[in-house]
């Protein structure tokens, strides 16, 4: 009886031993190197212009040092300029864009910087960033080319280079916030070579650029909390009459509509003129004085909504302050480095987008403004809105003068809730319109007015 038992014991022992060997071996052999030890990849972000392509090269310092022999692992930002010549020379040897016919592009390496970052599957690491300009031969197509780039991957065979497009005006990609993946560059293990990437961005057109700028203009005014607050705070007291330095009465509905129209048109004219002059003149204006000016304009508007500072001259004030807002709008176009033709088309589309959304917001706010002026709670609501706007303006002003604060951060975050803003304005407009219609029904009497005020005459 011992023979079978010994055989069974031996068989079970061998099975357990086999499992103990096979399972770990399978896990080790089957897992990719990235799964065992995730390593950061390189990124190339392309900005496609009319006659050149700008590239932002993001390279992990550890892999770059290993591949190039230029040790940057202990190099500080202050000491980077001493290694800049060697870094640029190395990169130039490993960047070779060519046309579809094989003609070489000209490459130049610009600014270098070091920073700390991290990717989704990796922990924090140091990164080298380099700016490169890729210029094709005269007449060559910037939208179709061969990108031969093997920095790091020619030595670190597990490395991967992710190539994306951040800005492509003719392709309709202008916001700079997202990235479209073009492809990856990595070692071909079958042939042990690093094949170049064929970049094909399709056909671009001025129409696609125009439509993209139209959308960008609309989004810019919709998410620009400061621009919206300035316009709305000037419109808030438009239906009111000023007497003795106080808001003490109502103007007729027709007069209120005329005031609102003048303020809106003046603000439009002011920022349109400044936007065109700044963009077409390619003026290099520091951003902080302009941004501080905008914050100050909102503060002035808030004070005016509490006590009339310039009654009857709101349109003039809107036009003057609109100049500063237009300069701020021009910063968006300046960052795109567009050609003159693209700039003119972009200016038209961008400004049209701003105006369409601005008109939509004024149209949605108009019923509420007219009804609010006739409610008994109007003074409390107006003072509350003006006070909150003034606090936000003070926070912005301090922040833009170099004093960051939570008030400015909270005010900026309001621009991320555009859907809620539109829904709120739309519901308020419907409610105000319904209230107005209901109050005009026979037997319902006249509109409720503030105590001590005479009912508004028709028209």
pLDDT(412) > 80: yes
How much is the average pLDDT of 70-75?
92
Do the Cβ atoms of 94 and 25 come closer than 8 Å?
no
Cα–Cα distance measured from residue 46 to residue 197, given in angstroms and rounded to the nearest whole number: 13
Instruction: Count other C-beta atoms under 10 Å from residue 285's C-beta.
Output: 15
Name the band, by pLDDT with cuts 50, 70 and 90, for residue 87.
Answer: very high
Q: What confidence score (pLDDT) does residue 6 get?
A: 54
Cα–Cα distance measured from residue 131 to residue 212, given in angstroms and rounded to the nearest whole number: 25
Tokens at residue 43, please?
Answer: 């990124």
Do the Cβ atoms of 227 and 411 come closer than 8 Å?
no
Q: What confidence score (pLDDT) does residue 133 get?
A: 96
Cα–Cα distance measured from residue 289 to residue 380, given in angstroms and rounded to the nearest whole number: 34
How much is the average pLDDT of 147-155?
94
Cα–Cα distance measured from residue 55 to residue 338, given in angstroms and rounded to the nearest whole number: 16
Choose the weakest-confidence range: 26-30, 44-48, 226-230: 26-30
Choose the weakest-confidence range: 51-55, 180-184, 332-336: 332-336
Do the Cβ atoms of 123 and 102 come closer than 8 Å?
no
Q: Which of 50-59, 178-187, 422-431 has the highest mean pLDDT?
A: 50-59
* Residue whose tokens read 């060559």: 140
- DSSP 3-state helix, strand, coil percentages of the chain (rounded to 5)? 55, 20, 30
Name the band, by pLDDT with cuts 50, 70 and 90, for residue 27.
Answer: very low
pLDDT(66) > 50: yes
Tokens at residue 224, please?
Answer: 């620009």
Integer angstrom CA distances of residue 226 from 104, 222, 232, 315, 394:
47, 10, 10, 18, 12
DSSP bridge partners of 108: 133
Query: What is the DSSP pairing of strand 240-243 with strand 197-200?
Result: unpaired
Tokens at residue 421, please?
Answer: 């803003």
Q: What confidence score (pLDDT) does residue 122 get?
A: 66
**Model-level pTM?**
0.77
Tens of pLDDT, residues 255-289? 888 999 999 999 999 999 999 988 888 778 888 89
């Amino acid at each position: 009886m011992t023979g079978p038992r010994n055989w069974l014991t031996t068989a079970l022992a061998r099975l357990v031993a086999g499992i103990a060997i096979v399972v770990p071996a399978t896990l080790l052999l089957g897992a990719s190197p990235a799964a065992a030890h995730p390593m950061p990849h390189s990124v190339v972000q392309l900005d496609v212009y009319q006659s050149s392509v700008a590239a932002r090269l993001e390279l992990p310092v550890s892999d770059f040092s290993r591949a190039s022999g230029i040790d940057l692992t202990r190099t500080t930002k202050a000491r980077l300029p001493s290694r800049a010549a060697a870094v640029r020379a190395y990169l130039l040897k490993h960047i070779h864009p060519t046309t579809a016919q094989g003609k070489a592009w000209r490459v130049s390496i610009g600014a270098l910087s070091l920073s700390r970052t991290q990717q989704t599957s990796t922990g924090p690491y140091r990164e080298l960033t380099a700016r490169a300009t890729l210029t094709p031969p005269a007449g060559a197509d910037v939208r179709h080319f061969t990108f031969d780039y093997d920095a790091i991957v020619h030595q670190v065979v597990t490395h991967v280079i992710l190539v994306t497009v951040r800005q492509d005006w003719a392709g309709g990609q202008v916001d700079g916030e997202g990235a479209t993946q073009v492809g990856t560059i990595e070692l071909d293990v079958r042939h042990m070579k690093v094949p170049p990437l064929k970049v094909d961005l399709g056909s671009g057109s001025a129409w696609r650029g125009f439509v993209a700028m139209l959308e960008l203009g609309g989004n810019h005014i919709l998410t620009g909390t400061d621009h919206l607050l300035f316009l709305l705070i000037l419109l808030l007291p438009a239906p009111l009459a000023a007497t003795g330095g106080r808001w003490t009465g109502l103007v007729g509905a027709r007069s209120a509509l005329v005031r609102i129209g003048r303020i809106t048109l003046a603000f439009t004219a002011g920022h349109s003129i400044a936007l065109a002059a700044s963009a077409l003149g390619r003026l290099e204006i520091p951003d902080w004085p302009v941004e501080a000016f905008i914050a100050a304009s909102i503060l002035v508007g808030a004070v005016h909504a509490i006590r009339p500072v310039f009654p009857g001259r709101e349109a003039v004030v809107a036009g003057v302050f609109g100049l500063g807002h237009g300069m701020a709008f021009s910063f968006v176009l300046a960052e795109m480095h567009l050609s003159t033709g693209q700039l003119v088309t972009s200016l038209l589309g961008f400004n049209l987008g701003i105006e369409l959304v601005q008109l939509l917001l004024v149209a949605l706010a108009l019923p509420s403004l007219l009804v609010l002026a006739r409610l008994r709670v109007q003074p409390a609501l107006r003072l509350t809105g003006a006070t909150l706007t003034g606090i936000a303006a003070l926070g912005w002003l301090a922040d833009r003068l170099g004093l960051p604060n939570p008030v400015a951060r909270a005010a900026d975050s309001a621009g991320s809730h555009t859907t809620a803003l539109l829904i709120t304005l739309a519901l308020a407009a419907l409610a105000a319109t319904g209230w107005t219609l209901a109050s005009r029904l026979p037997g319902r009497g006249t509109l409720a007015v503030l105590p001590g005020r005479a009912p508004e005459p028709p028209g």
